[in-house]
């Protein structure tokens, strides 16, 4: 069934009217008519029923994207960039509703959701600007020949998105894909489908041709797996857990699709003995409590120099006590709920595991006075944590940090690198030589020195080891959405004119 729009969230409302997917320029229900609920993590109440796509819906979306790819790849870059810029303008115009949808569906507190949505146009503008600036190269070859490469789009690209930053993670990959001439099928996470669908309304309003951008909503093992396995999908960007990333990689391998994997982490925050401890505490708290710890780069392993342990932990405790946890729509909230009952149960279980492995230093419970139905949790810190403890090795994806002490750089580097993950590290101190030489020895895709993570369209993001392959953002992301074609032209009058071995007949 076709509908006029994806959804509407009136001001002050906490439910939406209906929810439709976006396929081939139309808002539709699932072919089989199935739906599933999406909930407000602040209360546990249902916001709406979302279409449950299956293989049939995915086939329709991929077929539409494939048809649209024929023209889109040759649509000139001025036109493609113009559409991306128009879309950026519409996002700004509709920022308030988009932010409220994101806050309601994902649990980001409203002020943070506003910041995130406010930044979305940066990604669209960045790739609108780059569309006509990236290309192939000429190559010096022997003989009288001209040899060059073309950088071409892949065709249909699939974008499988997690629930922690639904709009941002989607936009950071669809913007380069579209700018570089690919068509797109998005599969949002089942917990947070709504902002991608509202965004689809803006894509249509901006004037993108039908089929260039599609969104199918549904469960990972159903809609997500059908999309990753689809033989007409030429490129996949998967952002999510390492475990699901392995599954999606195998599906991609079966039809030899190009794949970018942006996966999980267990990132270190390292406090050097000369660090400004007030700043270090602030960076630490941002590092593991931001979005209630549901951040891929979350600094959940705290490596604190033994000399500053007591002072650092004292300041950290004071700062955590002042953290304002609450309903995301309340004025002064700085930490909202976890996204779902499932994630709440998972974090609670890890806290129990932690109690058996280490010493609970702070938190561990449910904050007082909040809606019983909401998925709220206190920031939690464990000390005396052995390096092989599960809470120190496994990605919890909640505001739970383990403290480890260190004294020498060799010991620090060995402990930090002893992880299957390699996404990110945060180093806090004053001696820049010491910080930089440590940064060079860490097996991670990104290092922040005396700062916390801020996502930007122009800086490459991605992981080493089991944190992923490929890069999102920055010039490096071009490779994830293009393929190379080599063209060679013989400039001699006759094929036999060349005498060198390169031209020799077989």
Q: How far is the CB of 31 from ligand NAD (least distance, A)?
A: 19
Which residue in the shown chain puts its C-beta closest to ligand NAD?
220
Q: In the complex with ligand NAD, which residue's Cβ is closer, 153 or 220?
A: 220
Q: What is the DSSP string of 185-246?
A: EEE--TT--HHHHHHHHHHHHHTPPTTSEEE----IIIIIHHHHH-TT--EEEEES-HHHHH
For residue 342, the minimal CB distance to ligand NAD (Å) is: 9
CA-wise closest residue to 143 among 505, 501, 388: 501
CB of 482 to ligand NAD, least distance (A): 20
**Which residues are marked as active site?**
262
Residue 377 CB, nearest distance to ligand NAD (Å)?
A: 16
Q: What pairs with residue 139 in β-bridges? A: 147
Q: What is the 3-state secondary structure (H, E, C) of 376-444?
A: CCCCEEEECCCCCCHHHHCCCCCCEEEEEEECCHHHHHHHHHCCCEECCEEEECCCHHHHHHHHHHCCC
Span 260-289, contacts to ligand NAD by CB under 6 A: 262-265
Angle, CA 450 vertex, CA 447 and CA 451 arms, to 5°: 75
Judged by CB under 6 A, the chain residues 185 through 214 that form the site for ligand NAD are 187, 189-190
Please work out the total of residues on this chain that contact ligand NAD, with binding judged by CB under 6 A: 31
Residue 223 or 389: the one with the smaller Cβ distance to ligand NAD is: 223
Taking CB under 6 A as the binding criterion, the range among 67-75, 123-131, 277-285, 461-469 that sits at the site for ligand NAD is 461-469
Spatial distance between the Cα atoms of 263 and 160, rounded to a whole number of angstroms: 12
Of the listed pieces 95-103, 224-232, 269-277, 281-289, which binds ligand NAD according to CB under 6 A?
Answer: 224-232
Decide: helix, strand or coil at residue 107: coil
Nearest approach, Cβ of residue 359 and ligand NAD (Å): 26
SS3 48: strand
Can residue 303 be called a binding residue for ligand NAD (CB under 6 A)? no
* Sequence-separated (6 or more) residues with CB below 8 Å from residue 223: 52, 53, 54, 57, 58, 187, 216, 217
> From the centroid of its chain, how far is CA 254?
24
Residue 48's φ and ψ, nearest 5 degrees, are -170, 170
Cβ distance to ligand NAD smaller for residue 379 or 462: 462
DSSP output for 297-329: T-EEEEEEEGGGHHHHHHHHHHHHHT--B--TT
Q: What is the CA radius of gyration of the chain?
A: 24
Q: Say whether residue 171 binds ligand NAD (CB under 6 A).
A: no
Least distance between ligand NAD and beta carbon 168 (Å) = 9
> Which position among 51, 162, 268, 446 is part of the footprint of ligand NAD (CB under 6 A)?
162
CB of 189 to ligand NAD, least distance (A): 4
Stretch 346-385: interaction string toward ligand NAD, x if CB under 6 A: ----------------------------------------
Judged by CB under 6 A, the residue of 240, 299, 364, 398 near ligand NAD is: 240
Report the distance separating Cα 466 and Cα 245, nearest Å: 9
Q: x-or-dash pattern for ligand NAD, window 243-262, by CB under 6 A?
A: -x--xx-------------x
Bridge partners, 269 (sequence order): 302, 426
Q: Closest distance between ligand NAD and the C-beta of residue 487, in Å?
A: 35
Subset of residues 24 to 63 that bind ligand NAD, contact rule: CB under 6 A: none
Which residue in this structure is represented by tokens 């700043």?
279
Among 106, 239, 267, 300, binds ligand NAD (CB under 6 A): 239
Which is nearest to 296 in space by CA: 467, 472, 122?
467
Report the residue number, 186 or 435, with the smaller CB distance to ligand NAD.
186
Q: Does 241 bind ligand NAD (CB under 6 A)?
A: yes
Q: Are 466 and 417 in contact (CB under 8 A)?
A: no
How far is residue 177's CA from residue 448's CA, in Å, rounded to a whole number? 27
Beta strand pairing status for 359-362 and 156-160? unpaired
Smallest gap from residue 43 Cβ to ligand NAD (A): 21
Contacts to ligand NAD from residues 421-460, by CB under 6 A: 423
Among 19, 47, 101, 296, interactor with ligand NAD by CB under 6 A: 296
Q: Name which of 144 and 469 has its Cβ closer to ligand NAD.
A: 469
- With CB under 6 A as the contact rule, the residue among 181, 211, 220, 374 that binds ligand NAD is 220
Between the CA of residue 494 and those of 148, 467, 498, what are the distances in Å?
A: 21, 53, 8
Q: Are 145 and 476 in contact (CB under 8 A)?
A: no
Determine which residue in the list 166, 224, 363, 374 makes contact with ligand NAD, applying CB under 6 A.
Answer: 224
Residues in contact with ligand NAD by the rule CB under 6 A: 160-164, 169, 187, 189-190, 220-221, 224-225, 228, 239-241, 244, 247-248, 262-265, 296, 395, 397, 423, 461, 463, 468
């Amino acid at each position: 069934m076709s509908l006029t729009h994806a959804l509407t969230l009136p001001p002050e409302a906490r439910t939406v009217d209906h929810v439709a997917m976006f396929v081939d320029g139309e808002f539709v229900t699932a072919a089989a008519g199935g739906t599933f609920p999406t909930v407000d993590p602040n209360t546990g109440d249902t916001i709406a029923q979302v279409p449950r796509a299956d293989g049939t819906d995915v086939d329709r979306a991929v077929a539409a994207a494939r048809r649209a790819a024929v023209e889109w790849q040759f649509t000139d870059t001025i036109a493609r960039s113009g559409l991306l810029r128009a879309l950026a303008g519409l996002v700004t115009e509709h920022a308030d509703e988009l932010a409220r949808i994101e806050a309601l569906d994902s649990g980001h507190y409203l002020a943070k959701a506003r910041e995130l949505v406010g930044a979305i146009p940066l990604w669209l503008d960045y790739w609108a600007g780059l569309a006509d600036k990236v290309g192939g190269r000429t190559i010096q070859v022997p003989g009288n020949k001209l040899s060059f490469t073309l950088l071409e789009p892949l065709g249909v690209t699939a974008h499988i998105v997690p629930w922690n930053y639904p709009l941002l993670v989607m936009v950071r990959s669809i913007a380069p894909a579209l700018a570089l001439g690919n068509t797109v099928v998005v599969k949002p996470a089942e917990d947070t489908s709504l902002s991608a669908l509202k965004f689809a309304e803006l894509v249509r309003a901006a004037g993108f041709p039908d089929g260039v951008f599609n969104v199918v909503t549904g469960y990972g093992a159903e809609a997500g797996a059908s999309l990753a396995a689809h033989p007409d999908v030429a490129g996949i960007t998967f952002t999510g857990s390492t475990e699901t990333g392995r599954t999606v990689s195998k599906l991609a391998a079966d039809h030899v699709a190009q794949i970018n994997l942006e996966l999980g982490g267990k990132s270190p925050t390292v406090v050097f003995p000369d660090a400004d401890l007030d700043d270090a505490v602030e960076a630490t708290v941002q590092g593991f409590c931001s979005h209630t710890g549901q951040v891929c780069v979350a600094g959940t392993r705290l490596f604190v120099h033994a000399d500053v342990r007591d002072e650092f932990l004292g300041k950290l405790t004071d700062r955590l006590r002042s953290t304002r946890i609450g309903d995301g729509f309340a004025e002064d909230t700085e930490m909202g709920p976890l996204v779902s009952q499932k994630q709440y149960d998972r974090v609670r279980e890890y806290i129990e595991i932690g109690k058996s492995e280490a010493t609970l230093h702070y938190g561990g419970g449910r904050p007082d006075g909040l809606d019983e139905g909401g998925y709220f949790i206190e920031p939690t810190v464990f000390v005396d944590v052995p390096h092989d403890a599960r809470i120190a090795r496994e990605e919890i994806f909640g505001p739970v940090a383990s403290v480890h002490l260190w004294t020498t750089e060799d010991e620090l580097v060995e402990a930090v690198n002893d992880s299957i993950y390699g996404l990110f590290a945060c180093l806090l101190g004053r001696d820049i030589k010491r910080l930089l030489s440590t940064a060079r020895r860490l097996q991670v895709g990104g290092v922040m020195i005396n700062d916390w993570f801020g996502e930007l369209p122009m800086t490459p993001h991605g992981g080493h080891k089991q944190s992923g392959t490929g890069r999102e953002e920055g010039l490096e992301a071009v490779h994830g959405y293009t393929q190379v074609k080599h063209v060679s032209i013989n400039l001699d009058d006759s094929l036999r004119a060349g005498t060198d071995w390169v031209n020799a007949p077989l």
